[in-house]
């Protein structure tokens, strides 16, 4: 044996070096100041583990690659947020109360397709879609039913809606007011990310520029009136579902974030006044290390751009805090039970990527809306990741792995190339670059190309999807799926007709005229007249169309 | 339910009485070419000649579809009966094509609205421009013969095919956008010479006035030797923003003004003559090319080719022998 | 061969209309299918999002479509697909209607009974998609 140190001795010396560094000491001070979860931090076999391994920069420190908070899941696990909404408002209200009874504090609302498109249940467009993929909301009366007997000052509500987001938020504010809860006490998030609608999800109403004006009005309004409300959740999830690569998801999403920042700053809001309440929503797909690299790169890029390009000074403005959902598009209709394994791996990637909240998909979602049992299994899956795997005990446990660090850099490099293209398109403005990319079909074209490449790989067998193009034996399951009773549509139409009969039509028309007039004045904020209109029981479609009179509609160029 | 099978005269009669399904089928047969297309041409020819034919071209992304969508919406609202032939590139590799971005009319979108719509037909180039040169004029003739007016031909790009197709219209419209160098491209392709009016679309964008200035300059510089210049016609430049609904009315006013000019200066017949000569030349070229291929593959043709390969006769000699056969005795080949 | 016509008749090329009927905006699948059919040598007329039965029938007439393909992801297929078939019948087009997307197993037979020519679930191969279109067209023309 030589005198040279063994591998173990060298590692121990390196660990000694960074644990005695001033950077570690500074981080440790913040970590020690945090309240920790009351549990032993040791392995299943009783080996004690440190909160972090490897040199800085540490979590909770710029550029936040390793996490947005100093103690991460040692203080608080990610929020296990599950999406619910189907049928009538009463049906969903019952599920909400179930969630609250079981100790949940976060309500997450899915709306049906007509609602998402600003259409009422009696619109010819709504045929066959009322209450199918979420809850139908036509008027304030439905919102009152949706949150009946729930104390809105004590819950955090997430509402997944974009095109008509202002109208739905106005209804939520009106319901709260009626039950004696001031809007300043309301907590929650409304997705309200219109850019990704043009790029991927396609649930827009107006052309991009007036739509962004509505978003900035909401940013301004909530900044002034609703300190606990998150006015935009910038969402890459749908971009990925539409077929993008991980790097495209990362880049398009963050670029959209930069664009909102530029729009709000242009509208006169100080960046530190609102940036801290922007949040993100990413997809977690099956390529484990690529996903983790993507999440880590997202934090680093956002922090750097906010600080260096947009001059943010508050730490909170630089934090890329995000919600994650497992990849619905990865779920197979063949042998659906094996989706549970996919979801588990994707959920683990989300946790190792440092997500703030997580929705795990139900295994039957490639077939229909989840059944109650499937939704429970999905929740149990992330509980296993949180409580059994030890993944939450050490912060950024994969940080320092040569592969993961390289992947993080690679994701960042690809994203920066896309930002450079958009910056160029917009002649120095990401906002203008995003508008231009929407108009010239850049985003949809890139996403369609990626989706087609993936399908070709699956089709020619170069990419194996278990149960689809390999290992196909055993697809004999007879799944019971959730079906929405067709009578929901009829019920909802009747309810809407009743509401229309019982309201003061003159007041409705006056309120709608005020909405149109405000839309015509770019210096006015749309929220107050919209709140007045929904209080008069103007319908979602009426208010949406009152704005459309001024804003026009958007028809996508069919680009393949 | 099986799809109906009807003879060409039956289809033509039905199309003349306003049945869109029959017209749709006829246009498919036009695209397929051959004897069926010839028969349709014979049938339609006596009934055609009334429609105002408008060609619209421009680079991809110039907003032509949006503009055409607005024009036809306005035309239908005004009681006109427009048809659109949208020519789109196809994949040369497989012969397949995706004809996206089909023109939409604004007000016809509501479910159950039952509103009248323009007749819009997409046509792929099927990998070779030759087919297009035959199919487009015939399709236009069919539209004209069954009562559509105006007939708008929309093409993508600023190449030779577009020049030919658009140049054969009564009124040729070239659409440009700021910041794309379209004007230079169009100049190179010879589109500027055939354009009867220019539309600068997306005129709310920076650089729109630069495009206008460039065009004005090119018009000043070009030696206008055609008939139009003698009558003092200078192609107008219309600033439009089709996406925001601005300027489509101006565009159509200018198209109508051009037609009035053609009528007043007695130039419509000139245009028609040019159109017919272009079509006949294209048909002849295709027929000659096919005949040449047949002659080369004939017994005697093969012999001359073999002899030329063995350097017993010169290629020029082989060619002249084949030409003699082709020109003197066409029935035999 | 002595064909006096200028050109030989081209072989019949299938023309397929693809559309999203109603409000559903999930267009990943239908765009992939458009490319698959193009690569199989067909002409695809992609109408895009937010189409109505009226707009699809109008396009099918004008484009002389051999088949109509709809993609559905919102569980509205039991209402919308039969409505499409009915509209095609009322216009006396005889054009087969093919449905792709998320359709539960139990719904397939009722859709076929309602006159839908074929239902293509997720995971159908490229060849399977193209063949289903050819078969549906052949059956409609039989």
Residues whose CB falls within 8 Å of the CB of residue B26, separated by 6 or more in sequence, listed in order = B8, B11, B12, B15, B40, B142
Question: Which has the closest alpha carbon to A558: B153, C129, B102, C114?
Answer: B102
Are B104 and A555 inside 8 Å of each other by CB?
yes
Answer whether residue B324 is part of any domain: yes
Within 13 A of B332's CA, how many CA atoms are on the CB side? 15
Are B101 and A207 inside 8 Å of each other by CB?
no
Which chain B residue is nearest to residue A123, measuring alpha carbons? B111
Whether B245 and chain A come into contact, CB under 8 Å, resolves to: yes
Answer whether residue B241 is part of any domain: yes
Chain C contact set for A202 (CB, 8 A): 25-27, 49
Please tell me the distance from the alpha carbon of residue B167 to that of residue A233, in angstroms, as a whole number: 52
Is the confidence at residue C108, as pLDDT, over 60? yes
pLDDT in the model for residue C5: 43
SS (H, E, C) A504-557: CHHHHHHHHHHHHHHHCCCCCCCHHHHHHHHHCCCCHHHHHHHHHHHHCCCCCC
pLDDT in the model for residue B107: 53
Tens of pLDDT, residue by residue over A288-303, are 999 999 999 999 999 9
Shortest CA gap A242–chain C (Å): 5
Average pLDDT over residues B183-209: 81
Let me know whether B262 and B133 are in one domain.
Answer: yes
Chain C contact set for A367 (CB, 8 A): 102, 104
Are C83 and A128 inside 8 Å of each other by CB?
yes
Are A558 and B110 inside 8 Å of each other by CB?
no
Please tell me the distance from the alpha carbon of residue B49 to that of residue B38, in angstroms, as a whole number: 18
- pLDDT band at B241, cuts 50/70/90? confident
Best C28, C52, C73, C127 residue to mutate vs chain A (most A CBs within 10 Å): C28
Within 13 A of A344's CA, how many CA atoms are on the CB side? 13
Please compute Rg for chain A using Cα positions. 24
Domain total of chain A: 1
Is the confidence at residue A68, as pLDDT, over 70? yes
> Are C45 and B122 within 8 A, CB to CB?
yes
pLDDT in the model for residue C2: 36
Beta bridge partners of B239: B200
Residues whose CB falls within 8 Å of the CB of residue A35, separated by 6 or more in sequence, listed in order = A75
- pLDDT band at A128, cuts 50/70/90? confident
**Range with the poorest average pLDDT among A241-250, A488-497, C9-18:** C9-18
B-C contacts at Cβ under 8 angstroms: 140
> Are A206 and A553 within 8 A, CB to CB?
yes
Answer whether residue B276 is part of any domain: no
Whether A329 and chain C come into contact, CB under 8 Å, resolves to: yes
- pLDDT band at B301, cuts 50/70/90? very high
- Kindly list the partner chains of chain C, i.e. chains with 3 or more CB atom pairs below 8 Å: A, B
Answer whether residue A281 is part of any domain: yes
Please tell me the distance from the alpha carbon of residue A462 to that of residue A464, in angstroms, as a whole number: 6
Partner-chain residue, chosen from A119, A329, A557, that has the shortest CB–CB distance to C23: A119
Is the confidence at residue C7, as pLDDT, over 60? no
pLDDT in the model for residue B173: 94
Higher pLDDT, A65 or B103: A65
Chain B contact set for A440 (CB, 8 A): 61
Average pLDDT over residues B117-146: 84
Q: Which two tokens stand for residue A21?
A: 């560094």
Is the confidence at residue A60, as pLDDT, over 90? yes
Is the confidence at residue A261, as pLDDT, over 80? yes
In terms of residue numbers, what domain contains A350?
Answer: 191-484
User: CA triplet C17, C18, C24: central angle to 5 degrees?
Assistant: 145
Residue A311: CB atoms within 10 Å: 12
Whether C128 and chain A come into contact, CB under 8 Å, resolves to: no
ipTM for the predicted complex = 0.91
Let me know whether B303 and B231 are in one domain.
Answer: no
Please tell me the distance from the alpha carbon of residue B53 to that of residue B152, in angstroms, as a whole number: 6
Average pLDDT over residues B31-45: 94
Average pLDDT over residues A50-63: 94
**Range with the poorest average pLDDT among A75-84, A390-399, B290-299, C96-105:** A75-84
Is the confidence at residue C40, as pLDDT, over 60? yes
Strands (E), B18-169: 53-58, 83-88, 97-99, 119-124, 151-155
Is the confidence at residue B161, as pLDDT, over 80? no
Whether B273 and chain C come into contact, CB under 8 Å, resolves to: no
Is the confidence at residue B329, as pLDDT, over 70? no
Percent of chain C with pLDDT over 90: 72
Beta bridge partners of C72: C101
Average pLDDT over residues A130-141: 92
Whether C1 and chain B come into contact, CB under 8 Å, resolves to: yes
Q: List B residues 83-112 in contact with C (Cβ-Cβ < 8 A).
A: 90-91, 94-102, 108-112
Is the confidence at residue B108, as pLDDT, over 90? no
Let me know whether B58 and B195 are in one domain.
Answer: yes
Answer whether residue C118 is part of any domain: yes
Answer whether residue A446 is part of any domain: yes
Whether C23 and chain A come into contact, CB under 8 Å, resolves to: yes
Domain total of chain C: 1
Whether C79 and chain B come into contact, CB under 8 Å, resolves to: no
Chain C contact set for A557 (CB, 8 A): 48
Which chain C residue is nearest to residue B143, measuring alpha carbons? C62
- pLDDT band at A318, cuts 50/70/90? very high
- pLDDT band at A31, cuts 50/70/90? very high
Tens of pLDDT, residue by residue over C42-73, are 999 999 999 999 999 999 999 999 999 999 98
Using alpha carbons, list the distances in angstroms from residue B223 to B98, B162, B195, B229, B316.
40, 22, 14, 9, 40
CATH of residue B88's domain is 3.40.50.300
Chain B contact set for A557 (CB, 8 A): 65-66, 100-101
Partner-chain residue, chosen from C39, C54, C64, that has the shortest CB–CB distance to B25: C64
Please tell me the distance from the alpha carbon of residue C20 to that of residue C9, in angstroms, as a whole number: 33
Using alpha carbons, list the distances in angstroms from residue A444 to A226, A382, C68, C113.
34, 32, 23, 36
Please tell me the distance from the alpha carbon of residue A355 to that of residue A77, in angstroms, as a whole number: 9
Average pLDDT over residues A334-363: 96
Answer whether residue C5 is part of any domain: no
Please compute Rg for chain C using Cα positions. 15
> Are B315 and B308 within 8 A, CB to CB?
yes
Q: Which two tokens stand for residue A517?
A: 């007039």
pLDDT in the model for residue A235: 97
Answer whether residue B251 is part of any domain: yes
Whether C140 and chain A come into contact, CB under 8 Å, resolves to: no
Are B100 and A127 inside 8 Å of each other by CB?
no
Quote the crossing angle between the two packed helices A527-535 and A540-551, to the nearest 10°. 150
Whether A126 and chain C come into contact, CB under 8 Å, resolves to: yes
Whether C52 and chain B come into contact, CB under 8 Å, resolves to: yes
Shortest CA gap A176–chain C (Å): 30
Chain A contact set for B112 (CB, 8 A): 124
Answer whether residue C140 is part of any domain: no
CATH of residue A394's domain is 3.20.20.240
Question: Which has the closest alpha carbon to C45: C66, C72, C71?
Answer: C66
Answer whether residue A412 is part of any domain: yes
Average pLDDT over residues A336-348: 97
pLDDT in the model for residue B113: 63
Is the confidence at residue B200, as pLDDT, over 70? yes
Tens of pLDDT, residue by residue over A165-214, are 999 999 999 999 999 999 999 999 999 999 999 999 999 999 999 999 99
Whether B299 and chain C come into contact, CB under 8 Å, resolves to: no
Whether A516 and chain C come into contact, CB under 8 Å, resolves to: no
Best B89, B111, B179, B245 residue to mutate vs chain A (most A CBs within 10 Å): B111
Among B267, B301, B316, which residue terminates a domain?
B267
Secondary structure class of C96 (helix, strand, coil): coil
- Average predicted confidence (pLDDT) for chain B: 84
- pLDDT band at C12, cuts 50/70/90? confident
Average pLDDT over residues B200-225: 80
Is the confidence at residue B328, as pLDDT, over 90? no
Tens of pLDDT, residue by residue over B109-131, are 566 666 667 899 998 866 455 67
Distance of CA B157 to the CA centre of its chain: 12
Let me know whether B261 and B175 are in one domain.
Answer: yes
Question: Which has the closest alpha carbon to A160: A122, A129, A133, A123?
Answer: A133
Answer whether residue A69 is part of any domain: no
Percent of chain C with pLDDT over 70: 92
Chain C contact set for B109 (CB, 8 A): 50, 52, 55
Is the confidence at residue A87, as pLDDT, over 80? no
Let me know whether B36 and B122 are in one domain.
Answer: no
Is the confidence at residue C6, as pLDDT, over 50? no
pLDDT in the model for residue B3: 57
pLDDT in the model for residue A432: 96
Is the confidence at residue A391, as pLDDT, over 90? yes
Q: Which two tokens stand for residue B93?
A: 């590799």
Answer whether residue B182 is part of any domain: yes
pLDDT in the model for residue B105: 66
> Are A433 and A258 within 8 A, CB to CB?
no
Among B233, B267, B301, which residue terminates a domain?
B267
Shortest CA gap C1–chain A (Å): 42
Average pLDDT over residues B309-318: 93
Q: Which two tokens stand for residue C38?
A: 């193009």
Partner-chain residue, chosen from C39, C58, C141, that has the shortest CB–CB distance to B2: C141
In terms of residue numbers, what domain contains B38?
Answer: 1-47
Whether C24 and chain A come into contact, CB under 8 Å, resolves to: yes
Let me know whether B1 and B150 are in one domain.
Answer: no
pLDDT in the model for residue B130: 62
Domain total of chain B: 3
pLDDT in the model for residue A183: 97
Whether C93 and chain A come into contact, CB under 8 Å, resolves to: no
Let me know whether B228 and B179 are in one domain.
Answer: yes
Are A452 and C32 inside 8 Å of each other by CB?
yes
Partner-chain residue, chosen from C48, C54, C64, that has the shortest CB–CB distance to B27: C64
pLDDT in the model for residue B17: 96
Is the confidence at residue B144, as pLDDT, over 80? yes
Let me know whether B175 and B243 are in one domain.
Answer: yes
pLDDT in the model for residue B41: 96
Tens of pLDDT, residue by residue over A427-467, are 999 999 999 999 888 999 999 999 999 999 999 999 999 99
- pLDDT band at C3, cuts 50/70/90? very low
- pLDDT band at C8, cuts 50/70/90? low
Percent of chain B with pLDDT over 90: 44
In terms of residue numbers, what domain contains C111?
Answer: 15-125
- pLDDT band at A237, cuts 50/70/90? very high
Is the confidence at residue B2, as pLDDT, over 60? no
pLDDT in the model for residue B4: 61
Partner-chain residue, chosen from A127, A440, A559, that has the shortest CB–CB distance to B100: A559
CATH of residue C101's domain is 3.40.50.280
Best C4, C36, C45, C96 residue to mutate vs chain B (most B CBs within 10 Å): C45
Answer whether residue A38 is part of any domain: no
Please tell me the distance from the alpha carbon of residue B185 to that of residue B172, in angstroms, as a whole number: 17
Chain B contact set for C140 (CB, 8 A): 1-3
Answer whether residue A199 is part of any domain: yes
Answer whether residue C56 is part of any domain: yes
Let me know whether B212 and B85 are in one domain.
Answer: yes
Whether C142 and chain B come into contact, CB under 8 Å, resolves to: yes
Answer whether residue C65 is part of any domain: yes
Let me know whether B23 and B171 are in one domain.
Answer: no
Beta bridge partners of B176: B200
């Amino acid at each position: 044996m030589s005198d040279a140190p063994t591998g173990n001795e060298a590692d121990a010396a390196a660990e000694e070096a960074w644990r005695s560094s001033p950077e570690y000491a500074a981080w440790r001070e913040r970590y020690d100041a945090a309240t920790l979860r009351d549990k032993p931090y040791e392995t299943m076999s009783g080996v004690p583990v440190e909160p972090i391994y490897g040199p800085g920069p540490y979590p909770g420190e710029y550029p936040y690659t390793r996490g947005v908070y100093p103690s991460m899941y040692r203080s608080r696990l990610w929020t296990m947020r599950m999406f619910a909404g189907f049928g009538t408002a009463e049906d969903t209200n019952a599920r909400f109360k179930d969630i609250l009874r079981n100790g949940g504090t976060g309500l997450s609302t899915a709306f049906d397709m007509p609602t998402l498109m600003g259409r009422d249940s009696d619109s010819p467009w709504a045929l066959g879609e009322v209450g199918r993929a979420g809850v139908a909301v036509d008027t304030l009366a439905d919102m009152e039913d949706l949150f009946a007997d729930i104390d809105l000052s004590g819950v955090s509500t997430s509402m997944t809606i974009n095109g008509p987001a202002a109208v739905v938020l106005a209804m939520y504010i009106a319901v709260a007011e009626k039950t004696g809860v001031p809007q300043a006490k309301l907590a929650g998030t409304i997705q309200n990310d219109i850019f990704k609608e043009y790029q991927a999800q396609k649930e827009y109403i107006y052309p991009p520029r007036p739509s962004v004006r509505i978003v900035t009005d909401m940013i301004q309004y909530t900044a002034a009136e609703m300190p606990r409300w998150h006015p935009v959740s910038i969402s890459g999830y749908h971009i990925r579902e539409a077929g993008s690569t991980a790097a495209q998801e990362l880049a398009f999403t963050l670029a959209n974030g930069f664009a909102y920042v530029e729009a709000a700053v242009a509208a006169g809001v100080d960046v530190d006044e609102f940036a801290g309440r922007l949040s993100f929503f990413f997809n977690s797909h099956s390529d484990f290390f690529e996903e983790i690299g993507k999440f880590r790169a997202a934090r680093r890029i956002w922090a750097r751009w906010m600080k260096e390009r947009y001059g943010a000074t508050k730490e909170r403005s630089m934090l890329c805090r995000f919600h994650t959902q497992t990849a619905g598009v990865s779920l197979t209709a063949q042998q659906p039970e094996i989706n549970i394994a996919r979801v588990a791996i994707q959920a683990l990637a989300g946790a190792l990527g440092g997500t703030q909240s997580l929705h795990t998909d139900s295994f039957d979602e490639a077939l229909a809306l989840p059944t109650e049992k499937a939704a429970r299994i999905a929740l149990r899956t992330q509980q296993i990741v949180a409580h059994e795997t030890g993944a939450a005990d050490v912060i950024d446990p994969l940080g320092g792995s040569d592969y993961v660090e390289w992947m993080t850099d690679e994701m960042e490099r690809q994203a920066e190339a896309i930002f450079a293209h958009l910056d160029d398109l917009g002649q120095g403005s990401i906002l203008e670059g995003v508008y231009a990319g929407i108009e010239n079909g850049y985003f949809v074209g890139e996403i369609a190309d990626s989706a087609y490449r993936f399908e070709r790989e699956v089709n020619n067998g170069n990419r194996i999807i278990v149960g689809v193009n390999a290992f196909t034996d055993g697809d004999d399951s007879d799944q019971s799926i959730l079906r929405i009773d067709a009578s929901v549509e009829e019920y909802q139409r009747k309810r809407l007709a009743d509401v229309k009969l019982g309201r003061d039509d003159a007041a409705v028309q006056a309120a709608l005229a005020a909405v149109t007039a405000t839309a015509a004045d770019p210096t006015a904020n749309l929220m107050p007249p919209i709140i007045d209109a929904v209080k008069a029981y103007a319908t979602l479609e009426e208010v949406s169309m009152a704005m459309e009179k001024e804003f026009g509609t958007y028809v996508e160029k069919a680009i393949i | 339910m099986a799809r109906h099978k009807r003879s060409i005269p039956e289809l033509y009669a039905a199309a003349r009485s306003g049945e869109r399904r029959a017209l749709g089928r006829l246009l498919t047969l036009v695209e397929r070419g051959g004897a069926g297309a010839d028969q349709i041409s014979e049938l339609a020819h006596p009934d055609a000649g009334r429609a105002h034919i408008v060609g619209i071209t421009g680079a991809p992304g110039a907003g032509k579809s949006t503009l055409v969508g607005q024009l036809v919406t306005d035309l239908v609202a005004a009681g006109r009966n427009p048809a659109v032939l949208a020519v789109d590139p196809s994949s040369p590799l497989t012969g397949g094509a995706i004809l996206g971005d089909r023109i939409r009319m604004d007000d016809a979108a509501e479910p159950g609205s039952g509103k009248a719509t323009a007749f819009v037909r997409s046509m792929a180039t099927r990998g070779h421009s030759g087919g297009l040169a035959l199919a487009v004029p015939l399709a236009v003739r069919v539209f004209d013969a069954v009562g559509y007016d105006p007939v708008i031909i929309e093409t993508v790009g600023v190449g030779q095919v577009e020049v030919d197709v658009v140049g054969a219209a009564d009124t040729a419209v070239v659409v440009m956008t700021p910041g794309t160098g379209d004007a230079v491209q169009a100049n190179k392709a010879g589109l500027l010479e055939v354009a009867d009016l220019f539309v600068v679309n997306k005129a709310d964008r920076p650089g729109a006035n630069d495009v206008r200035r460039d065009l004005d300059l090119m018009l000043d510089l070009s030696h206008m030797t055609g008939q139009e210049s003698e009558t003092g016609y200078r192609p107008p430049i219309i600033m439009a923003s089709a996406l925001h609904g601005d300027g489509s009315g101006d565009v159509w006013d200018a198209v109508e003004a051009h037609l009035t000019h053609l009528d007043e200066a007695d130039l419509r017949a000139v245009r028609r003559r040019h159109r017919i000569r272009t079509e006949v030349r294209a048909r002849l070229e295709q027929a000659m090319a096919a005949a040449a291929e047949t002659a080369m593959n004939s017994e005697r043709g093969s012999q001359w080719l073999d002899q030329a390969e063995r350097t017993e006769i010169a290629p020029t000699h082989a060619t002249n022998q084949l030409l003699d056969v082709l020109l003197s005795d066409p029935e035999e080949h | 061969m002595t064909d006096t016509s200028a050109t030989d008749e081209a072989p019949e090329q299938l023309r397929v209309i693809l559309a999203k009927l109603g409000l559903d905006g999930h267009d990943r699948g239908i765009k992939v299918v458009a490319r698959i059919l193009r690569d199989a040598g067909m002409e695809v007329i992609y109408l895009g999002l937010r189409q109505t039965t009226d707009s699809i029938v109008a396009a099918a007439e004008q484009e002389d479509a051999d088949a109509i393909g709809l993609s559905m992801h919102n569980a509205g297929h039991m209402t919308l697909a039969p409505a499409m078939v009915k509209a095609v019948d009322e216009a006396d087009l005889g054009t087969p209607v093919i449905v792709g997307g998320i359709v539960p197993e139990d719904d397939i037979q009722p859709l076929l009974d309602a006159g839908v020519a074929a239902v293509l679930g997720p995971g159908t191969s490229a060849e399977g998609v193209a063949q289903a279109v050819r078969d549906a067209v052949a059956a409609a023309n039989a």
